[in-house]
Structure 1
Amino acid sequence: MDRDTIRLPLLIVAVLVALLMGIALGGAGLIDRLLSGPDPKAIATSSLESMRAQNRLVTFVARFVSVSSASQSKLGFTTERTLILPGTVRYEVDLARLNQKDVAWDEGSKTLRVRLPDVEIAGPEVDLSQAREYGSGGLLATFTNSEERLDQANRAKAVADLRKQAIAQVPMRMAQDSARQAVERSFAMPLRAAGIEDAKVVARFASEDSNDPSRWDVSTSYEDAIKEAQRRRAAEGAK
């Protein structure tokens, strides 16, 4: 009998044995996964990627009003200007900064722990259409450009004051609570939908380990805030 004729059946038998072993091992792995239930780590990883794709999460929007005054004295004359300037601030979380090390599953307590990037403020977006400026006028204002300089100084002070109000404890806490609840809900829903009813999700912020409020401030500069407000006002007037 030809040697190649003998080898062919042996090769076929070897392939069949390998296939049967592969099916057996794959089936055992499948059965093991079915018996052990859904994998919370895999579900959390999927949720993480979904949240990262959202990029930035706006958790809170607040409106503040600043009242600032400036005065100038020269040659015995004094002029004073007061500005009332409203502005809107958005509180955001950059979800794109989340990574796998920020999400940890504790099997013992059935708890998924999520470490979030700090809340950031975007703005203030000042509303020049609602701004109000008042002044005492006088000779100094009549013969010099003091009013223009005082208005510019007031606007810079007002934008800085709006930022200061925005990072105060109360609005920051409200923004953090809103973000925490949204993130915990986004991770908890897929876990419960997969049948892990007793799963808990606990989200914390990096800023909760640091009291440095400057880490929250990524706000718009004074010049950009005023330019953007002027652009919006011009667009509204053109309608």
Structure 2
Amino acid sequence: MKNEKPFKPGSGFGMLAIAFLIFFGAIAGLVLMRSPYFGILFLVFFFMLPGFFVVQPNQSRVLIFFGEYRGTVKKNGFFWVNPFYAKKKISLRAHNFDSERVKVNDKLGNPILISVILVWQVEETYKAAFEVNDYTHFVRVQSDAAVRKLANTYAYDNFEDDSEITLRSGMEEVNHDLETELAERLAIAGIKVIEARIGYLAYAEEIASAMLQRQQATAIVAARYKIVEGAVGMV
């Protein structure tokens, strides 16, 4: 598997000066010497123009020469390369992705609504450009798959065992597992996960009211148990 490699382009300002010399030289030749051969210099001038490009902060250009990867330019500035090079722009900036709420069953089979908030950025431009067809779409699909897997791994809540890690009570552990899962899935596309966490979590509408009543009943039982326990302790 190939990896990203840096490419050192030529200075855009130096080549721009040469291009203007060629352009004005062609005009001078046609006007003063009236030779049609100077028209060739116009062709050279226009041939050079596609070679110029600008790289802004936290942007990159992947250079491709007739289907062959030649390197990546991450340095900011104004540059010139062989006009036959294709220059694919890939952003290195951080992206925020707030997924749609999906309905999925938790570990106990209860239908829940869940979404994920993901902060990510491209770290390896070669993989982002060539290992997947569309790395932004890849992020969306893998985020959906990861959150579904997470929901199936944990219960939304556990009324019988407060020590069990659940989606509602164990957010720190759950978010860590989500971040690890996404980092593994997105590594193939050269994408770094900066942060991943659950953005929305709730029971599905069809069972929400029943689960709320169950929570209230469990809270009442727990409160009565503590009252009885305290009374016994006083005796």
TM-score surpassing 0.5? Answer: no
Which protein, 1 or 2, shows the higher relative CO under an 8 Å CA cutoff with sep ≥ 6? 1
The answer to which structure has the higher helix fraction is 1
Q: Which has the larger radius of gyration?
A: 1
- Could you state the TM-score of these two structures normalised by the residue count of structure 2? 0.30
